[in-house]
Structure 1
Amino acid sequence: MLKNYFKIAIRNLFKHKLHTGINLIGLSLGLGVGILIFFFVQFELSFDSFHEDQDRIFRVKTHERIDGEMRETYASPVILAAAFRDEFPQIEAISGVTGADVQAILPDQSSQNQRLRLVDADFLKILNFPLLKGDISNQLQDKFSVVITEEVGEKYFGNENPIGKSIQLKMGEDFVDYQVTGVLQNPPANSSIPFEILMPIANMDFFADEESLASWYNVWGFNLVKLQSSEQVESIHQSMEAFMKKSLGEEYEEGGLYFSLSPISEMHFSQGAGNGGIETTQASLLWILAGIAFLVLLIACINFTTMAIGRATSRAKEVGVRKTMGASFAQLIGQFLTEAFLTTLMASIIGLVLAELLLPTFNDLFQKELDIVYGPVQFSILLGLILIITGLAGAYPAFFLSGLRPIKVLKGNLSIHFGKQGLRKGLVTFQFFISFLLIAATLIMVNQMNAIRNYDLGFAQDQILIVDMPDYPSKSFLTSLKESYRTAETFRQTLAARAEVASTAISVATYGDDAYWQVGYPKEDGTLFSFKVNFVAGDYLKTLGMELVEGRDLNPTIGADSSSFLINEAFAQAFDWDDPTGEMIPGTRFDPHQIVGVVKDFHHASLYQPIEPVLIAKSPEAVFSGISNLMINSTTNPKLLVQSAVGDLNQIKGVIEEEWNKMYAGLPLNITFMDETVQEQYQADERLGKMVFIASCIAILIASMGLLAMVALSIAGRTKEIGIRKVLGASGWSISWMFGKEYLVITALGLLVALPFSLYLMQGWVSQFAIKAWPSWLSFGLLSLGGIAFTLLIVYVQSLKASLSNPVNTLKDE
């Protein structure tokens, strides 16, 4: 029986080549996109799932009240690990995780920047990174030991056994030898915590002084906790208030600062501050992509269903004959579902080929390294898609046709008006709704991103290069900053003397790099005022083209204006200053200082965030004397900003490389462009916009093929009517309009529902930006006219051919 199903199904598929071809193309395109997206979503959802006892592993989240508002960050103090270990017996293991960049010497005596993770010995007890070489019991015990990955071992030591060998890392002023005690398997692609070298967290004394490391208000990296039981989370949360009272003493303020535990399963999808360089993805992106894949597949399924309904009349006689010959209802359903299954199976094979072909483009678009792996999970996804699509596309035609009564079919009295018209029109309307919804979403996204791209950020972007200067690690922030700036200033002056350079400046932070320091101090009324700080040198405002609205600029001379500040307008508004020049920050905590100028508000961060109060200073001492809170999300090494005086940026890069090799020979040079840095902030949404555009194009292609086929089937069923109308004097245009008005109503309904629904759906996406821009009604009007014109063109091309045919040929059988 099953063999006959397949034989008859194959015969029918080859007999109706156009019908089969359109279904195959539509389903193949839909499955190609769907397979790629669903495999990608599955990969993203698998992050960190390889850790054993995942339900018992958590990341500490910090909650702090600043300016009367509770703020959350995943960064936490270094002191927390030891305090939690002593206070909460429910904790089986705990480890801080802090990132740092240092200079490393390779065996060939060349140097490179090396990313480190400073962790506690419990790190390898919490997370499952297999140790390939070494004894697990003595890893990360000795301060001057390191654990490396296979990749680092090959890079530093080739094929030799790394155990017992040394790696030279610059810690503070000197290079220090660290002995390799273990080699770990390279972290898998679905690990949220990438690393190359693990180092004991005791080495934090190279990066900060004892006071900073012991402060509850200075956060570094994050902390991971493994509990004895997952049910113990609530008991720790309930004990948190007593713990904070004990830890903060006189500084305790109810609800002012506390910690909670966030499951590691949520780490990959966390978008809060203080993520510490982990691999993250927006959960909303996954659901949007999955929704796009579902809609494209749904359009392809609708094509399948509407075309099957359109061919109902020709298949009805087949059903009547087969029922008369004894075929049962179940057998007929099995036959039609087999045809749907074979079509879907062939489309799946073609879709897999398309997915493989589209994979490089997809990886480039989303900056991923996804490989299509055909494991049990992927096979289950593929099989599920085939079965679901077979059901969606083939169920209604199978049950509808199998249920026809043979007497009415064979007598010619069959009425399938609803099947041929009502449902078919409804499905086509829904198909147009999805297509126009995706097109409208693309229009909204393109309009928003164009507004972002053309928005005045308050500083210049063109002809400005950013050079990462060497860091100077020190246990003292002040020493680190001073020494880094001292060497950077020498290099800045060297470049400033070149004719190819218009102006130069040094800055800790640049736009969107999350390097502005978040600081806070208690105001006279007891509230904590929070603001951003940037330390600069040279011609900062001139280089970036910033506008000074009041007062004067900082003096670029070394040593001058060491106690002077620049602030932005938002900072002045926070204190209701009409004339901020000459003012001092209220309170007695700060050393004597003076505000000498006000900079017009500029966006220090991406346009996802509103403008915040910003203070710009030359000397960190004047700021550090007054603050009580500090959060640093990035390293302290300064950046050199270079404004080119020549149009050829390659020429100015050559100048920088020439001077760099004279002063920093052997050190890696990293140069970026300011305009590219700005655009990188919106890459995720730019990529999403491109994906929606691609999906809308595929949806239009599938829908147009379906419309083309449906118009052809409709005309084929009304050829005699067309002939009679022509004999009675109807023109070709009137006959075309007879068909066109039917699909014009369908198109208009799809548009009327899709446009307002797209505005509703996209509100959440647009609301994430501080600057919002919606398309004009003219844009939506042009979109509507384009959709109507597109439909009429398809209908007109098909109907015109029928209207030009000789009526004698269609009526001679009557």
Structure 2
Amino acid sequence: MWKNYFKIAIRNLSKNKLHTGINLIGLTLGLGVSILIFFFVQFERSFDDFHQENEQVFRVERHQIEEGEKQSSFSTPLLTAPTFAAEFPQVTLATRMVGGSAQAYLDEETTQNQLYLTVSPDFLEIFNFKLLQGTKERVLQDKFGVVITEETAEKFFGDSDPMGKSIRMRMGDNYEEYRVTGLLEDLPANSSIQFEMLMNDENLAFTVDQESMDSWFNVYGDTYLKLNDPESKEAVEAGVEAMMKKMLGEEYEEGSYLFTLQPITEMHLTDNPNSGMVESTRPSLLWILAGIAFLILLIACINFTTMAIGRSTTRAKEVGVRKTMGADFGQLVFQFLTEAFLTTIAALVLGLLLAELLLPTFNDLFEKQLDLVYGTTQIAIILGLVVLITAMAGAYPAFFMSSLKPIKVLKGNLSIRFGKQALRKGLVAFQFFISFLLIASTLIMVNQMEAIRDYDLGFDQKMVVIVDVPEVPSTSFVTSINAGFAQAEKYRQALASRSEVQSAGITIATYGDDAFWDGGFPTPEDEQFNFRLNFVGGDYVKTLGLEIAKGRDLNPVPGSDSSAVLINETFAKALGWEDPLGEMLPSTRIGNHEIVGIVKDFNHNSLYKEIEPIVLAKSPETIFSGINMLMINSAANPKVIVKGNGTDFEAFRTLLESEWEQVFPLEAFSFSFLDEAVQKEYVADERLGKMVFLAACIAILIAAMGLFAMAALSIAGRTKEIGIRKVLGASSWSISWMFNKEFLVITIVGVMVGLPLSLYFMQSWIEQFAVKEWPSWLNFSILGVAGILFTLVIVSAQSYRATQMNPVKTLKDE
């Protein structure tokens, strides 16, 4: 019996090659894209699952309230980990995690910048990164011992065993020898914490002074705790207030400085832009992608259903005969579901091949390391999709066709225009609605991102290169910055003397999300005033093409203008100053300084944020002496920004590298482009726009195939009517319009519903930008007209063919 079901299903599918092909192509496209998306969603939701007892591990979040404003961050004081471990018996393990970089010798002559994490010895006992050599309890006990990944080991030692071998790295003023005490398997792609090297946090003494280590108001890196039980979280958080009173004594104001615990299972999927040192993904992205996958599948399933309904007349006779021969309702239902199942299985095989082909492009688009590994979860997803599609695509035709009365069918009382026209039209209209919703959303996103790209940021980004200067580690922050600037100035002057260079400057912060530091000071009125801060040197203003609205630029000569500062227009407005030249910052503690110029507002951050008050200064002592809040959002080592003359970048790059070798012969040369840094801020939304565009193209393709098939079925069922109309004198145009009219109404309904809903759904997306640009109504009108022309072309092509048939052939049959 089962064999017969499959034989009959295969015969029916083979007999109707056009409909089967359209269903197969639509489902293949839908499944190929959906498998990639659903696997991606599952991959993102699996982050940090490989850590054993991960429900007991928490990341500490710091909350500070100043002048009624709450500021939260995952950067914590270095005291946090040992203090929590000592004060709370529920804390079984604790670790600090502070990032850093140092110049390291790859061989006797070559150095490169090596990233590392300084962590507490408990780190590898809290997290289950796979240790291939060494023991978790001992590998991080030695100050000068390091644990490296397989990839890092290959970089330093090739294929030889790295255990016990040394790596020379510059820590502080000298190069230190570090011995490899442990080897880790390369980190899983679904780990929020990524690193190349681990070292004991005693090494923080090279870059952090003792005062900062003992301070509750200087923050560095993240803190992680492992509790004896997940339920202990509430008890620990409830005891934080008492702990802070004990630590700060009379300085503590109730509720002003607290800590909470975030489960590590929640740290990857977050809408919080300040995600600390871990890689994060917005949950809304996963919902959008999953929604896109479902809509594409839905369109493909609608094709299957509408074509099955359209073929009802032909299949109805088959049902009537089989019922007369004794087939019951359940057998017929199973027969139709078998056909849907076979089509789905065939589409699944092709869809998996398509997913494999699209995987590299998908990984490049989202910068992920997704693999199509068919484990238990992935197989469950695939089986779920097969059941879902079989049910969505085959259930209605199966139950409807199987319920037909044999006597009506065999008497010929059933027509293709039987009372299911409304459902069929409704399904086609829904297809068009989804297609126009996606394409209109794409239009909105493309228009917004073009507006972002074309927006005048207030500075020049063309042919501007950023060169990272080697860091000068020091326990004194001011000493480190000043020494770094002195080092960068040598390179800047070497470049400035070259005719190929238009100008060169020095900066701590470059353009980027939160790249400028956060500073704050109390005003004479005892109010907190917060601003953004950057330390600059050389021809910084000239190189970026910033405009001086009033006053003058900072003197590029080293040592000059050490007490001078520049502010932007927003800073002056925030303090109600009409002419701040010659004024001093209204802090009760900042020493001798003077505002010598006002810079026209420029976007120091991405266009997700409004322009904020900015201070540009040459000397850190000038500002540090008077602020009571400092949050460092980027590395403290200076960068040289260089604007070239001309457009020959290869020659310009050769110049930059040759001058670098003269000034820093032992240091690795690295550079980046300012315009790339600008565009990098919008990568996530650019990716989403590309994904929505791809989905819109697939949706339109599937809908076009469905429209083509439905027009063909509708015309095939009315060939006699066409013949009679031609005999009675109807023109080909009037007959074609008769069919076009029906489908145009469906198209217009899809457009009228899809376009307004796209505006509604995209409202929340576009609201995240400080600069917003909606497409004009002309663009939406063109989109609607294009949709109508799209329908006219497809339906007209089908109806024109029908009108060219000889009426004698269509009317001679009974």
Category of TM-score, reference length = shorter chain:
over 0.9
- Whole-Å Cα distance in 2 between the matches of residues 299 and 693 of structure 1? 16
Q: 2:535 aligns to what SS in structure 1?
A: strand
CA distance in 1, matches of 2:813, 2:332: 33
- Give the aligned partner of residue 58 of structure 1: 58
Structure-2 residue corresponding to 1:436: 436
**Distance in structure 2 (CA, Å) of the matches to 1:169 and 1:479:** 20
- Specify the code of the residue in structure 2 equivalent to 1:127: F
Q: In structure 2, what is the equivalent of residue 217 of structure 1? A: 217
After TM superposition, list the pairs within 5 Å mapping 1:315-714 onto structure 2: 315-414=315-414, 420-512=420-512, 514-714=514-714
Structure 2 Cα separation of the partners of residues 489 and 617 of structure 1: 16
- The amino acid across from 1:589 in the alignment is R
Query: Which AA in structure 2 matches 1:426?
Result: G
Deviation at 1:456, TM superposition (A): 0.6
Report if aligned partners of 1:67, 1:529 keep a CA contact under 8 Å in 2.
no
1:546-600, CA deviations, whole angstroms, 9 ceiling, x for partnerless residues? 1111221111111111111111122122211111111212232111111111111
Q: Which moved more, 1:357-366 or 1:748-757?
A: 357-366
1:478 is paired with a residue whose SS is helix
Within-5 A mapping of 1:741-780: 741-780=741-780
TM-aligned CA distance change 1:250 to 1:591, over 3 Å: farther
Which amino acid in 1 is paired with 2:350?
A: I
Cα distance in 1 between the residues matched to 2:503 and 2:28: 56
Deviation at 1:428, TM superposition (A): 0.3
Structure 1 SS opposite 2:470: coil
Asked if the contact 1:72–1:272 (Cα under 8 Å) also holds between the matched residues in 2, the reply is no
In the superposition, relative to structure 1, how do residues 542 and 12 fare at CA in structure 2: closer, same or farther (>3 Å)? Answer: same
Whole-angstrom CA distance in 1 between matches of 2:564 and 2:271 = 35
Cα offset, 1:522, TM superposition:
2.7
Deviation at 1:365, TM superposition (A): 1.4
Question: 1:377: how far off?
Answer: 1.4
Partner of 1:800: 800
Distance 2:756 2:771 in 1: 21
Contact 1:492/1:640 (8 A) holds in 2 = yes
- The amino acid that maps onto 1:442 is T
The question of whether the paired residues in 2 share the 8 Å contact of 1:569 and 1:598 is answered with yes
Between the aligned partners of 1:427 and 1:15, the Cα distance in structure 2 is: 25
| CA positional deviation for 1:412 | 1.8
Query: For the residues of structure 1 that align with 2:110 and 2:275, how far apart are their CA atoms?
Result: 31
Could you report, residue by residue, the CA deviation over 1:70-116 in whole angstroms, capped at 9, with x for unpaired residues?
12211111111111112211111111111101111123541111110
Is the contact made by 1:100 and 1:117 (CA closer than 8 Å) also made in structure 2? yes
Distance 1:170 1:467 in 2: 20
| More moved, 725-734 vs 244-253 | 244-253
Alpha-carbon separation, structure 2, partners of 1:48 and 1:232 = 21
Cα–Cα, structure 1 residues 311 and 216, in superposed 2: closer, same or farther, change >3 Å?
Answer: same
Superposition map of 1:273-312 within 5 A: 275-312=275-312
Do the aligned residues in 2 keep the contact of 1:451 with 1:773 (CA within 8 Å)? yes
What secondary structure is seen at the aligned counterpart in 2 of 1:230? Answer: coil
The one-letter amino acid paired with 1:129 is F
In structure 2, distance between residues paired with 1:700 and 1:190: 34
Partner of residue 97, structure 1: 97
Pairwise CA distance, 1:65: 2.3
CA RMSD of aligned residues (A): 1.4
- Return the alpha-carbon distance in structure 2 between the equivalents of residues 235 and 572 of structure 1: 47
Partner SS for 2:216? coil
> Counterpart of 1:192?
192
Q: Deviations over 1:707-751 (max 9, x none)?
A: 000000000000010111111111111001100111111011111
Mapped partners of 1:677, 1:730: distance in 2: 65
Aligned mates of 2:418, 2:285 — CA distance in 1: 39
- The more displaced of 700-709 and 801-810 is 801-810
Aligned match of 1:76: 76
Instruction: Tell me which moved more, 508-517 or 552-561.
Output: 508-517
Q: Distance in 2 between matches of 1:227 and 1:78?
A: 19
| C-alpha spacing 1:513/1:608, structure 2 compared with 1 (3 Å) | closer
- Contact 1:217–1:630 (8 Å) recurs in 2: no
1: CA distance, partners of 2:771 / 2:334? 56
CA separation of 1:727 and 1:319: change in aligned 2, threshold 3 A: same
The 10-residue stretch of structure 1 (128-137 or 597-606) with the greater mean CA deviation from structure 2: 128-137
1:113-128 alignment runs, 5 A limit:
113-128=113-128
Post-superposition offset of 1:136? 2.3
Tell me: CA distance 1:556–1:368, structure 2 relative to 1, closer, same or farther (3 Å): same
How many Å separate the matches in 2 of 1:758 and 1:441? 6
Cα distance in 2 between the residues matched to 1:727 and 1:419? 28
The residue number in structure 2 matching 1:721 is 721
- Write out per-residue CA displacement over residues 10-69 of structure 1, whole angstroms, 9 at most, x where no aligned residue: 111101101100000000011111111111111111110100111111111111224532
Match of 1:239 in 2: 239
For the Cα contact (< 8 Å) 1:64–1:72, is it kept in 2?
yes
Verify the 8 A CA contact 1:62 1:73 in the aligned structure 2: yes
Letter of the structure 2 residue corresponding to residue 510 of structure 1: T
Partner of 1:257: 257
1:138 is paired with a residue whose SS is coil
Contact 2:310–2:416, Cα closer than 8 Å, also in 1:
no
Uncovered stretches (5+) of structure 1, i.e. residues with no partner: none
> 1:255: how far off?
2.8
SS at match of 2:656: helix
DSSP-derived class of the 1:433 partner: helix
| 8 Å Cα contact 1:74-1:272 kept in structure 2 | no
Match of 1:439, SS state, is helix
* TM superposition score normalised by structure 2: 0.98
Distance 2:691 2:135 in 1: 48
- Which segment is superposed worse, 480-489 or 568-577? 568-577
- Cα offset for 1:273? 5.5
Aligned residue identity for 1:606: S
Work out whether residues 218 and 629 of structure 1, in 8 Å CA contact, stay in contact via their aligned partners in 2: no
Q: Secondary structure at the match of 2:267?
A: helix
Q: For the structure 1 residues 123 and 638, does the alpha-carbon distance in structure 2 shift closer, same or farther, using more than 3 Å as the test?
A: same
Q: Which moved more, 1:576-585 or 1:65-74?
A: 65-74
Change (3 A) 1:150 1:556: same
**Alpha-carbon spacing, 1:419–1:479, altered in 2? closer, same or farther (3 Å):** farther
Q: Aligned to 1:524, what secondary structure does the other structure show?
A: coil
Change (3 A) 1:675 1:501: same
SS at match of 2:555: coil
Q: TM-score scaled to structure 1, two decimals?
A: 0.98
Q: Distance in 1 between matches of 2:438 and 2:346?
A: 27
Q: What SS does the aligned partner of 1:107 have? A: coil
How many residues align? The count is: 814
Moved over 6 A (4+): none
Partner of 2:268: 268
**How many angstroms does 1:156 deviate by?**
2.0
Aligned equivalents of 1:213, 1:748: Cα separation in 2: 67
After TM superposition, give the deviation of residue 139 of structure 1 in Å.
Answer: 2.5
User: Counterpart of 1:520 in 2: which secondary structure?
Assistant: strand
Residues in 2 aligned to 1:217 and 1:595: alpha-carbon distance in whole angstroms:
28
1:607-639 per-position Cα deviation (integer Å, ceiling 9, x unaligned): 111111111100000111112222223221111
CA gap 1:131/1:611 in 2 versus in 1, 3 angstroms: same
1:134 matched to 2:134? The reply is yes
Segments of structure 2 that go 5 or more residues without pairing to the other structure are none
Q: Give the corresponding residue for 1:181.
A: 181
Q: Deviation digits for residues 288-331 of structure 1, max 9, x if unmatched?
A: 11111111111000000000000011101101111111111111
Higher mean displacement: 406-415 or 196-205:
406-415
User: For 2:8 and 2:108, how far apart are their aligned partners in 1?
Assistant: 71
Counterpart CA distance in 2 for 1:394 and 1:233 is 50
Matches of 2:578 and 2:685, distance apart in 1: 39
Output the CA distance in 2 between the equivalents of 1:80 and 1:523: 30
Letter of the aligned partner of 1:378 in structure 2?
Q
Cα 1:662/1:650, change in 2 over 3 Å: same
Q: Distance in 1 between matches of 2:232 and 2:483?
A: 47
